[in-house]
């Protein structure tokens, strides 16, 4: 970390390897589109590198870089001046395993129907190995509020699934 | 107690987020055993929980590959300049922004610049010159007021943190790089803290600072100064106006509903002693906020007498704060919306001065001079402005003693006559005068204020059946509705006698109900020496009702297994019943006339939907974003009443309205920016989806300019459309109905409305005046000039005595009502 702050590319590349996933997930959650998420993640790490010397508490790198990701994603949306495009998982994921059932599509459309402020915590919660504290820290909101949003997101998921089945 | 499915769904959600407590788990399992629907939902949720976990695992594998490639690309990239620390650290950690408008001392990267970086990062070997010294960072310029405000809040919060942790160098650095509103807020904050240390820091900062701009809120007034960014040349790239979007008249605010949920607001409250100016630590703050969002219910001020409340900013309708600290007189702060075009903006900081109260007191006696014991006293204070502060008087439970005396230790010392009311209540007595009591402040302080009460009037009589036999236990109450609560109410004794005490002179409806009898209503004007008011009840009618659904299956809500129920004690004439069952459209008033028919069959239909696409009439393309207002046609007149409170924004080009009443017609009204509003036909629920596509025709709405009486353009006037035959209720110049929409004029007095179909009138409200214009006059492009507000003054007498605090309503023949 310190090496990265002193300008070591190699050290920063290690940071990219470690944190790429969580940054990408934030971007995907907001932008909904894998290609945009990838571009934005690159932008985020570039920005991170140019600013890393200003980070006074190196142990907070993860939260810091994720907050940059959140802001960059939202700037991206603002520039594009439209709502999040329809949410989709990267297509490779579907190709990677053929054990997938149609229910995955059901799940995807349920997640796509959520507002971004519920979707992002939900995706991050699972991606982070179910640590709500982590998610809260990364998004810069309180633990209680992240818990509430997660509950709302799961509730909404249930609601959509229930309706989908009935309808 | 049996759990509802709703509670169980909560528990299911909670279970996915962590282990449940054993008791909850037991509740859940017990419910799932008995409820097939919830069991199914639980299984599906579990399955999707598994899917999400699997999917996350796959994503992790997929992304580790991507991460490797990103890292490689990064290593292969050309030179990337790093920002030097500290100076810009604030900016980065605070999500990175400076000022809109004038005096941007950071430069927004050009589009080309961004693309260049992008390419750089993708690994192409492009070697660039080091960035010039003034090209400091890729910080985007603040584009709008909202972002600026957010930025200000973040910086102010940081400043407070630095000050309270005594990190003065950091505070100074932040002050140098902060936005101008933030700098002013920091100075303001320090001034409020008002300790010697704070004042010293304040002075230091002021020395660094430029002469303060004349108008603190005009962020364009900022002047960059030499030395504010050491070593960095300042360069102005664009004219200031280009960076700020011009304010548009507020109508369809695209951010109105999907306002950024992540934004939190901060309100810093400081409590100080009004005399010494010293902060008061440990003062108790109690919050009430609407709608109910998650904020602390109570809090205490810190050693600087401060407390910071964090809240979700986009949602606040009102905020009420009670502040208490002994031995001071408490205070109450209230912020609320006053007009529908307002959004409630709470200040960043608010200071409250508490003073010691004065002791007050008085006496309550009967008109013949005997003391009245046990009279409850309370006070209410009149509201005045938009943001309000009231004294908090601890009058709960205040009662007179055996001598009729009452005393209150802390009461405001400096109130004016007529700015507050005193209420006195007693179970046996009513105040001598029928209107509210306004004591003279001196009398209260001298503890000589005297309130006279007299014996309340009594309504009494007997309730008998048609043969003259007394009915015991009949309920006698004031009000025309059996659901009325908290009114005068009594039951008859064994002789069928009743007594309603403590009545005043007024008109009342007395209702009598008793088991086995039809209810009786009687209107009564209460006066002194009222003769016995007797009621004769006749036997009630019985009706057998069967509730079935549209396929003929019986229902069991309050009805038995076959859907039957018996309604008893009905009067002979028509009574309307509401019939409801979840999942079905309900009757809001199903008429039953017991004397004519004693068997009814009520058919319920499932709740259907009125739905369809919204399309552009010319192109046939979908209109994605629009507002939908449901309308209810209560008496099948084909003229629906638009339910403005249920208006909502749809963004996917499709509207949908549940038809949850069965016995009324439904319609929807669709409004979209740049189109004429359009309405659907009126439909009755048929238990299934009704589809009607709605076509919108493009048009611009009325637009014009409003002038003040002196000819200057009228800024911030509210322009309301009032369809002919409708009225607009005003209260002292403000519109009370918060669902009414208005356009607001800009700084040049211009406004623009969405299309409206004539005939209509425009009503324009402004602080200094009022205007009204018909659509015909408006179409002739006549200028709209406001007339100054009129005043109507006079004195109201009641029983030959002046009657204060009576509500006065004015009705015009054509103009709207004022009050």
What is the rounded average pLDDT of the residues B384-412? 82
Interval B6-16 mean pLDDT: 77
Q: Please identify which residue in the block is written with the tokens 């086995």.
A: B516
Burial B59-72 (b: 16+ CB within 10 A, else e): beebbeebbeebbe
Span B118-133, mean pLDDT?
34
Of the candidates A137, A109, A112, the one whose C-alpha atom is nearest the C-alpha of residue A124 is A137
The answer to whether the Cβ–Cβ distance between A38 and B64 falls below 8 Å is no
A24·B262 Cβ contact <8 A: no
The stretch A8-19 carries a mean pLDDT of: 85
Q: How does pLDDT run across B198-216, given as a tens digit for each residue?
A: 878 888 887 776 544 433 3
Residue of chain B nearest A85, judged by CA positions: B652
Q: Measure CB to CB from residue B85 to each of A39, A54, A90 and give the nearest one.
A: A54
> Chain A closest CA to B145's CA: distance in Å?
15
Tokens of B124: 């192409």
Count CB-CB contacts under 10 A for residue B548.
17
Rounded-to-integer distance, Cα B73 and Cα B68, Å: 9
Question: What is residue B85's predicted lDDT score, i.e. its pLDDT?
Answer: 45
Q: Does A107 touch chain B (CB under 8 A)?
A: yes
Task: Say whether A50 and B53 touch across the interface (CB within 8 A).
Answer: no
Which of B56, B89, B140 comes nearest A127 by C-beta?
Answer: B56
CA distance A134 to chain B (A): 13
Of the candidates B729, B716, B808, B725, the residue with the CA atom closest to the CA atom of residue B769: B716
Q: Tokens 């008793």 map to which residue? A: B514
Nearest chain A Cα distance for residue B645, angstroms: 23
Instruction: Please answer yes or no on whether A151 and B95 come within 8 Å at the CB atom.
Output: no
What would the pLDDT profile of B621-670 be if each residue is shown by its tens digit?
888 888 888 888 887 788 888 877 667 777 778 888 888 888 888 999 99
**Residues of chain A contacting residue B12, judged by C-beta atoms under 8 Å apart:** 154, 158
State residue B807's pLDDT score: 63
B82 and A49: CB-CB below 8 Å?
Answer: yes
- Summary mean pLDDT of chain A: 75
B128 or B726: whose pLDDT is higher? Answer: B726
For chain B, what is the radius of gyration of the CA atoms? 34
Please give the pLDDT value at position B463.
92
Least CB–CB distance from A53: residue in B83, B143, B258: B83
**Peptide bond between residue B520 and the one before it cis (omega within 30 degrees of 0):** no
Q: Which of A31, A134, A131, A160 is nearest to A90 (CA)?
A: A31
Q: Is B44 on the interface with A (CB under 8 A)?
A: yes
Give the ipTM of the model, two decimals please. Answer: 0.81
The answer, as to whether pTM is greater than 0.80, is no
Residue A21 to residue B63, Cβ atoms within 8 A? yes
Whether B14 has its CB under 8 Å from any CB of chain A: the answer is yes
B45 touches chain A (CB under 8 A): yes
Structural tokens at position B104: 């941007």
For A:6-65, CB contacts with B below 8 A are 7, 9-10, 12-14, 16-18, 20-21, 24-25, 38-39, 41-43, 45-47, 49-56, 64
The answer, for B66 touching chain A at a CB cutoff of 8 Å, is yes
Among candidates A20, A67, A125 on the partner chain, residue whose Cβ is nearest the Cβ of B70: A20
Closest CA to B146 of B252, B237, B262, B235: B262
Asked whether B158 and B174 are in contact (CB, 8 A), the reply is yes
What is the rounded CA–CA span in Å between residue B2 and residue B422? 47
Candidate from A10, A54, A110 with C-beta closest to B83: A54
Does the structure show a pLDDT above 50 at B755? yes
Pick the residue of B62, B296, B607 with the most A CBs within 10 A to test the interface with A by mutation.
B62
Measure CB to CB from residue B12 to each of A20, A126, A158 and give the nearest one: A158
Average pLDDT over residues B712-741: 73
pLDDT digits (tens, 9 = 90+) for B412-434: 888 778 778 888 888 888 888 76
Q: How many Cβ atoms are within 10 Å of B472's Cβ, its own excluded?
A: 14
Max mean pLDDT range (B59-73, B329-343, B490-504): B490-504
Which residues on A lie below 8 Å from B656 (Cβ)? Answer: none
Are A54 and B86 in contact (CB < 8 Å)? yes
pLDDT band at B229 (very low <50, low <70, confident <90, very high): very low
Residue B597: is its pLDDT beyond 70? yes
Q: Spell out which residues of chain B touch residue A64, defining contact as CB-CB under 8 Å.
A: 93
Q: Which of B48-57, B528-537, B712-721 has the lowest mean pLDDT?
A: B48-57
């Amino acid at each position: 970390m310190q090496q990265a702050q002193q300008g070591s590319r190699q050290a920063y590349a290690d940071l990219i390897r470690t944190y790429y996933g969580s940054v990408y997930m934030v971007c995907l959650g907001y932008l909904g589109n894998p290609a945009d998420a990838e571009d934005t993640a690159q932008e985020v790490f570039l920005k991170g590198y140019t600013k890393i010397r200003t980070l006074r508490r190196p142990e907070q790198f993860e939260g810091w870089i994720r907050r940059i990701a959140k802001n960059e994603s939202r700037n991206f949306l603002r520039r594009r001046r439209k709502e999040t495009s329809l949410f989709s998982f990267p297509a490779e994921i579907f190709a990677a395993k053929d054990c997938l059932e149609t229910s995955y599509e059901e799940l995807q459309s349920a997640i796509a129907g959520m507002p971004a402020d519920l979707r992002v915590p939900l995706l991050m919660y699972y991606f982070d190995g179910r640590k709500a504290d982590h998610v809260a820290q990364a998004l810069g909101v309180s633990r209680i509020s992240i818990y509430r949003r997660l509950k709302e997101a799961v509730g909404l998921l249930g609601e959509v699934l229930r309706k989908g089945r009935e309808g | 107690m049996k759990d509802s499915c709703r509670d169980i769904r909560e528990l299911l959600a909670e279970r996915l987020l962590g282990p449940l407590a054993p008791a909850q788990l037991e509740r859940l399992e017990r419910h799932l055993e008995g409820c097939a629907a919830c069991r199914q939902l639980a299984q599906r949720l579990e399955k999707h929980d598994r899917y999400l976990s699997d999917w996350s695992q796959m994503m992790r594998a997929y992304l580790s590959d991507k991460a490797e490639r990103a890292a490689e690309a990064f290593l292969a990239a050309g030179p990337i300049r790093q920002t030097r620390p500290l100076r810009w650290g604030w900016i980065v950690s605070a999500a990175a922004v400076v000022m809109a408008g004038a005096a941007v001392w950071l430069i927004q990267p050009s589009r080309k610049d961004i693309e260049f970086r992008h390419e750089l990062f993708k690994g192409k070997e492009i070697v660039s010159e080091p960035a010039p010294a003034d090209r400091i960072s890729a910080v985007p310029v603040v584009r709008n007021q909202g972002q600026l405000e957010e930025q200000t809040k973040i910086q102010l919060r940081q400043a407070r943190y630095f000050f309270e942790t005594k990190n003065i160098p950091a505070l100074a650095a932040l002050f140098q790089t902060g936005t101008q509103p933030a700098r002013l807020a920091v100075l303001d904050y320090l001034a409020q803290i008002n300790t010697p240390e704070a004042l010293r820091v304040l002075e230091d900062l002021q020395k660094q600072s430029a002469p303060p701009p004349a108008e603190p809120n005009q962020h364009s007034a900022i002047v960059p100064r030499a030395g504010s960014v050491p070593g960095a040349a300042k360069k102005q790239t664009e004219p200031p106006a280009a960076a700020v979007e011009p304010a548009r008249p507020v109508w369809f605010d695209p951010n109105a509903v999907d306002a950024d949920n992540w934004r939190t607001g901060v309100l810093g409250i400081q409590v100080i002693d009004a005399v010494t100016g010293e902060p008061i630590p440990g003062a108790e703050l109690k919050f009430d906020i609407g709608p109910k969002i998650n904020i602390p219910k109570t809090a205490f001020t810190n050693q600087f007498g401060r407390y910071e409340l964090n809240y979700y900013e986009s949602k606040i309708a009102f905020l009420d704060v009670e502040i208490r600290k002994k031995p001071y007189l408490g205070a109450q702060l209230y912020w609320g919306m006053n007009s529908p075009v307002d959004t409630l903006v709470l200040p960043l900081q608010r200071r409250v001065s508490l003073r010691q109260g004065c002791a007050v007191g008085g006496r309550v006696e009967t008109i013949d001079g005997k003391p009245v014991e046990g009279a409850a006293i309370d006070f209410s204070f009149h509201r005045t402005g938009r943001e309000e502060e009231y004294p908090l008087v601890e009058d709960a439970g205040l009662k007179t003693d055996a001598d009729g005396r009452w005393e209150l230790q802390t009461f405001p010392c400096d109130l004016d006559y007529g700015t507050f009311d005193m209420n006195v209540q007693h179970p046996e007595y009513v105040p001598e005068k029928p209107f509210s009591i306004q004591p003279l402040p001196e009398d209260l302080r001298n503890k000589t204020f005297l309130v006279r009460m007299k014996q309340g009037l009594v309504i009494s009589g007997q309730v008998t059946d048609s043969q003259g036999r007394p009915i015991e236990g009949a309920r006698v109450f004031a009000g025309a509705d059996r659901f009325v609560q908290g009114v005068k109410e009594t039951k008859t004794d064994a002789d069928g006698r009743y007594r309603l005490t403590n009545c005043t002179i007024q008109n009342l409806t007395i209702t009598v109900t008793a088991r086995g009898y039809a209810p009786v209503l009687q209107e009564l004007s209460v006066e002194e020496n009222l003769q016995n008011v007797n009621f004769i009840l006749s036997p009630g009618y019985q009706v057998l009702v069967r509730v079935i659904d549209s396929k003929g299956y019986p229902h069991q809500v309050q009805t038995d297994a076959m859907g039957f129920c018996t309604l008893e004690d009905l009067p002979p004439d028509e009574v309307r019943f509401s019939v409801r069952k979840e999942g079905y459209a309900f009757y809001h008033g199903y008429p039953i006339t017991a004397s004519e028919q004693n068997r009814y069959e009520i058919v319920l239909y499932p709740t259907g939907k009125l739905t369809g696409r919204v399309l552009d009439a010319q192109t046939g393309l979908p209109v994605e974003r629009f507002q939908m207002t449901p309308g209810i046609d209560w008496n099948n007149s084909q003229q629906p009443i638009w339910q403005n409170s249920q208006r909502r924004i749809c963004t996917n080009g499709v509207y949908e309205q549940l038809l949850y009443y069965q016995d009324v017609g439904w319609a929807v009204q669709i409004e979209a920016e740049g189109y004429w509003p359009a309405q659907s036909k009126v439909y009755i629920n048929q238990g299934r989806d009704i589809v009607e596509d709605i076509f919108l025709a493009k048009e611009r709405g009325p637009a014009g300019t409003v002038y003040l009486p002196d000819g200057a353009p009228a800024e911030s006037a509210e322009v309301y459309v009032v369809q002919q035959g409708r009225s607009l209720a005003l209260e002292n110049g403000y519109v009370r109905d918060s669902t009414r929409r208005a356009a607001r004029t800009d700084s040049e007095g211009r406004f623009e409305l969405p299309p409206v179909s004539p005939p209509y009138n425009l009503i324009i409200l402004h602080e200094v005046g009022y205007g009204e214009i018909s659509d015909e006059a408006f179409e002739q492009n006549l200028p709209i000039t406001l007339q100054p507000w009129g005043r109507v003054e006079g004195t109201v007498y009641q029983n030959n005595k002046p009657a204060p605090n009576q509500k006065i309503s004015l009705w015009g023949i054509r103009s709207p009502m004022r009050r």
